Chain A
């Protein structure tokens, strides 16, 4: 049975852009309530997806008041060019509650200048006939554009600008702050020892002991130590793994570089990353790269050395990205890509090289995305898709090629979604889902395929939710959750399945939250939090588990906050801040942790009394300013500074 709390309405704008944007939006609605007759409202949104979201919200709001929204959404610069004429040609309509003229091309449109020019022309026309506007229309007129709209208006339609009643910005704010770009899980090394192939470390050590102190046997000793290290690592005995791998790597370095040395350093580096020892990780990856470079230089024709070198660059890029050093990351990924391209060009028929190339493109595409270079990201992901399609076409029976293809569709879907191209995203995700369903049907007992399917359902669910199709989203997430529950039940000791289950509960909770079913959301979040706490307790050194726990706290805190349970929310957010303070303390170089901390401070500020809130925001601003000063603030995060300054000026109650 629903409770009063269940009846809350969660504003989709808040869900998407955060409370600042939602507050702006409420101001607009308040104005609608108050104003009678014509008012001019200028609204800035990031892109057309944002415009459509606001439009739908306004439409819903007006329909509840038995009125309708007149929508003018030019689909081309030419159509915008004549927008004034279109507007003045509208027939009279007593049920019209507002006029919505929107053209907000995102950063990815092919001809931004043409759109600017069209807006100029339209605004000049409206400016000239501003009195006619007042006379002809008795409803608010909302002009919706991207961040170019205001400067253009100030330049060519200053009179119109001066009569505006409200200008507002719906942009990513607090919510985006909390959703700091997560550091992706490290790509599983194909070189890693996996279940069933992990060496017996004790045996390797015993054999290594036979060679200790025997001159001339250092290389053999190093090989055995590396084997022992990998065996310990596969068993999670990290202290022993580190000791063995370090000794092996040092011996390799001292007595001549060998390919095993590269992977000893890389394995160590991965461990350092996972355990928040950034400097050591950087050092280990650098040594891996140096060894690989030396080997590759000595024998430039050896493709395996080239591949090892590419793997080392890849790891460096990954770390730099996490440290917020975008340019260094780009350079490292570009080095890896150059090698992959060279190998693929030399032997175009080798599927392995094509896949390497595809992975390198993915890395670059991800980075472009993070750097806000959407066009470059799209072009790069298109190359990934082209490779996957070619391989899958050549051998349609190969399940791994089908999986690559599905992953490529997912990536394109993610990108389209980010660009606000919902239909294109839906098509891409649907193709991925179709492949996942086919594979899962062909081998229903295979846990891996079930997981693939679960991921696909979640992607569809995410998209439906973003498109405001809450019920469809709920269905998709429910399917994903059912699979996750089944897998976790079948193998309860597998931490990865538990983690999946936690993610699935969180997503279900999000849907319930968005649908206004607060109690159901709370229950789902509680289950997710329980798992996250358990995992974090079991392996307190693992930063990813700590971040998972942070994400769970954040969701729960948001819920309490929305339910006006301030005390509970404060308690949760305090834990959230504590987690990220700990992570930052351990690894101050990690820009992503700094970002997480900023987000948790802002969140805490939202529910704290004014004076304390200011302190939190001030501290968050200090972190962002420091990141900017050290060149580690990602371009895509540049918006944080004005938002935080604005928050500082008027901190939330």
Chain B
């Protein structure tokens, strides 16, 4: 029997509520996951560092795809604002191309450019009409000083002449940064040669920005700048190795250059940086919400399930749940929570898929079976090499890669980003495989053994 108009409206309403998006902490749909656990709250950790350090800090924040980083950064912003901080937020993807290698020169431009734009959009401060982009143009134009060795004369040059030719021709630096154009490559190479000067310029821009804010708000106000989404840098099939190398160099070698005067900077960065030794300092990882404990039986973790149930209730009330799933709604929801492995985004996507597959209310359990089956299918096929490593991770509930070269990093990143592997933190860091693939991984590994 076809769904009635009213039933379709009901499903549409639910679909809207389970749509995946970053939530502000005051949103009724927001579930305060980390606040309910008697464990380290990453937002509280970051806020604590800022409060203790006073004048300026730099922190990295990360987590794997879909674990709610942006939502938590929104919470941090709200909490800091409540404490009287001036918080600026920017999305790095408005400035960088995630499929192109990012150098420190790019990063400095992005950081300052994003800060400049946020000053204007969030605080309506236009720095006397001089945005960072305009300063950057002048920087490139500005002279470089070095002595000629002749009678103490100093020679000056304008090395950026050829670069500026492009800008004068109407290209926007900001727009070009998002491309892989020849101009961008030239700009990148050029600025790499004048890195220290660029850094000074960027620092000066931050100082001027801070002064502009303080001129209006008072010098006792502390400033926080959050640059989100940098974790999405991943390259594509042609250049992933180069992109990984660049990111590694950026956050390994040049991290200090990203400290800005008088501003607490928070950068969201690729999570695989946490694998590296030494791990970058002041890096906070947002773990996956765990549904089981770290033991061989994977005994359930009731608190985690409770939180997920609460999260679902904010989006689908008990009454609506019964209407959707029937009298066994709790069991149906439990099945979906179990299948999501602790990923909120996956849970919401599965519910959306249930809604899409619904032809009759309440849905029968077969729909849920098919949705879970389809989710499992998305992980397959698993290559033998991958299965071996996944099996090892599942057995040890830990990550012990033999190497951490670009290939290994890319592989692990893929595992985490596709949720084949999850990262947990409850007093200790540990890893496990997704519940939906464990049987398949075990089968592949066991099938392989007789032939060895």
Residue of B nearest to A507 (CB): B151
Given contacts A259-B256, A350-B192, A503-B152, A203 and B157 within 8 Å (CB-CB): no
Within 8 A of A (CB), among B151-199: 151-162, 165, 189-190, 192-197
For the complex, is B201 an interface residue (Cβ under 8 Å from A)?
yes
Residue of A nearest to B205 (CB): A197
For the complex, is B41 an interface residue (Cβ under 8 Å from A)?
no
Which residues on the A side are within 8 Å of B53 (C-beta)? 217, 220
Given contacts A220-B56, A399-B158, A399-B161, A185 and B193 within 8 Å (CB-CB): no
Given contacts A194-B145, A197-B200, A199-B207, A451 and B192 within 8 Å (CB-CB): no
A499-B147 in contact (CB<8A): no
B153-A400 in contact (CB<8A): no
Minimum Cβ distance to chain B for residue A647 (Å): 29
A452-B145 in contact (CB<8A): no
For the complex, is B144 an interface residue (Cβ under 8 Å from A)?
yes
Chain B contributes a number of interface residues (CB within 8 A of A) equal to: 50
Which residues on the B side are within 8 Å of A220 (C-beta)? 53-57
Complex CA distance for A120 and B307, rounded to whole angstroms = 103
Residue of A nearest to B104 (CB): A304
Minimum Cβ distance to chain B for residue A473 (Å): 15
A302-B252 in contact (CB<8A): yes
- Interface flags for A389-426 (1: CB within 8 Å of B; 0: not) read 00000010111110100010011001000000000000
Complex CA distance for A500 and B146, rounded to whole angstroms = 14
Complex CA distance for A449 and B151, rounded to whole angstroms = 17
Which residues on the A side are within 8 Å of B56 (C-beta)? 207, 220, 223-224
Given contacts A194-B197, A217-B53, A452-B155, A227 and B147 within 8 Å (CB-CB): no
A351-B193 in contact (CB<8A): yes
Given contacts A351-B189, A455-B150, A203 and B207 within 8 Å (CB-CB): yes
B161-A443 in contact (CB<8A): yes
A451-B155 in contact (CB<8A): yes
User: B207: which of A200, A217, A302, A366 is its contact (CB, 8 Å)?
Assistant: A200
Complex CA distance for A140 and B11, rounded to whole angstroms = 119
Does more than half of chain B's interface fall in helix, strand or loop, or is it mixed? mixed
Chain A contributes a number of interface residues (CB within 8 A of B) equal to: 69
- Interface flags for A220-237 (1: CB within 8 Å of B; 0: not) read 100110010000000000
Which residues on the A side are within 8 Å of B207 (C-beta)? 199-200, 203
Minimum Cβ distance to chain A for residue B381 (Å): 38
User: B253: which of A185, A206, A302, A410 is its contact (CB, 8 Å)?
Assistant: A302
Complex CA distance for A352 and B194, rounded to whole angstroms = 8
For the complex, is A193 an interface residue (Cβ under 8 Å from B)?
yes
Within 8 A of B (CB), among A357-377: 366
Which residues on the A side are within 8 Å of B195 (C-beta)? 352
Specify which of B144, B147, B158, B165 lies most central, judged by the most chain A CB atoms within 10 Å of its CB: B158
Given contacts A187-B146, A302-B252, A352-B193, A548 and B203 within 8 Å (CB-CB): no
Specify which of B148, B161, B203 lies most central, judged by the most chain A CB atoms within 10 Å of its CB: B148
Complex CA distance for A389 and B113, rounded to whole angstroms = 35
User: A458: which of B151, B165, B192, B200 is its contact (CB, 8 Å)?
Assistant: B151
For the complex, is B326 an interface residue (Cβ under 8 Å from A)?
no
User: B254: which of A304, A401, A407 is its contact (CB, 8 Å)?
Assistant: A304
Minimum Cβ distance to chain A for residue B154 (Å): 6
- Interface flags for B287-319 (1: CB within 8 Å of A; 0: not) read 000000000000000000000000000000000
Complex CA distance for A366 and B145, rounded to whole angstroms = 20
Minimum Cβ distance to chain B for residue A581 (Å): 22
Which residues on the B side are within 8 Å of A439 (C-beta)? 157
Given contacts A220-B55, A259-B256, A500-B153, A188 and B147 within 8 Å (CB-CB): yes
Within 8 A of B (CB), among A237-279: 258-259
For the complex, is B142 an interface residue (Cβ under 8 Å from A)?
yes
For the complex, is A447 an interface residue (Cβ under 8 Å from B)?
yes
Complex CA distance for A220 and B147, rounded to whole angstroms = 34
Minimum Cβ distance to chain B for residue A532 (Å): 11
For the complex, is B204 an interface residue (Cβ under 8 Å from A)?
yes
Given contacts A411-B149, A503-B153, A544-B152, A190 and B196 within 8 Å (CB-CB): yes
User: B147: which of A184, A197, A355, A395 is its contact (CB, 8 Å)?
Assistant: A184
B147-A503 in contact (CB<8A): no
B204-A448 in contact (CB<8A): no
For the complex, is A210 an interface residue (Cβ under 8 Å from B)?
yes
Complex CA distance for A304 and B159, rounded to whole angstroms = 22
A207-B154 in contact (CB<8A): no
Residue of B nearest to A448 (CB): B156
Which residues on the A side are within 8 Å of B165 (C-beta)? 397
Minimum Cβ distance to chain B for residue A130 (Å): 49
A185-B204 in contact (CB<8A): no
Which residues on the B side are within 8 Å of A410 (C-beta)? 148-150
For the complex, is B211 an interface residue (Cβ under 8 Å from A)?
yes
Which residues on the A side are within 8 Å of B146 (C-beta)? 187-188
Sampled A-B contacts (9; CB under 8 Å)? A190-B144, A199-B207, A304-B253, A399-B158, A399-B159, A410-B149, A443-B161, A446-B156, A455-B150
- Given A187-B147, A399-B157: 16 more A-B contacts, CB < 8 Å: A188-B146, A190-B197, A194-B145, A196-B204, A197-B203, A199-B204, A220-B53, A224-B55, A397-B162, A398-B190, A403-B155, A411-B149, A447-B143, A448-B155, A499-B152, A503-B151
The 9 closest A-B pairs by CB, nearest first: A448-B156, A400-B159, A397-B162, A197-B200, A399-B161, A403-B157, A188-B145, A503-B151, A352-B193
